[in-house]
Amino acid sequence: MVIEFLTFHVPLTDQPAFIAADAAIWTATLSCHPGYLGKDIWRDKASPDSLRLVIRWASRNAWHAVPRALLDQTNADFIAALGQSYPVLSCTEFDVI
**CATH number assigned to the domain comprising residue 71:** 3.30.70.100
Q: Give strand ranges (E) for 10-86.
A: 36-44, 47-57
pTM for this structure?
A: 0.93
| Average pLDDT in the chain | 97
Q: How confident is the model at residue 31 (pLDDT cuts 50, 70, 90)?
A: very high
φ/ψ bin of 86: left (φ > 0), alpha (ψ from -120 to 50), beta (otherwise): beta
CB neighbour list of residue 76: distance below 8 Å, 6 or more residues apart: none
Q: How confident is the model at residue 28 (pLDDT cuts 50, 70, 90)?
A: very high
- Which structural domain, as residue segments, surrounds residue 25? 2-95
Reduce the DSSP state of residue 49 to 3 states and report it. Answer: strand
Reduce the DSSP state of residue 36 to 3 states and report it. Answer: strand
Number of domains in the chain: 1
Rounded CA gap, 44 and 40, in Å? 13
Rounded to an integer, the average pLDDT of 61-87 is: 97
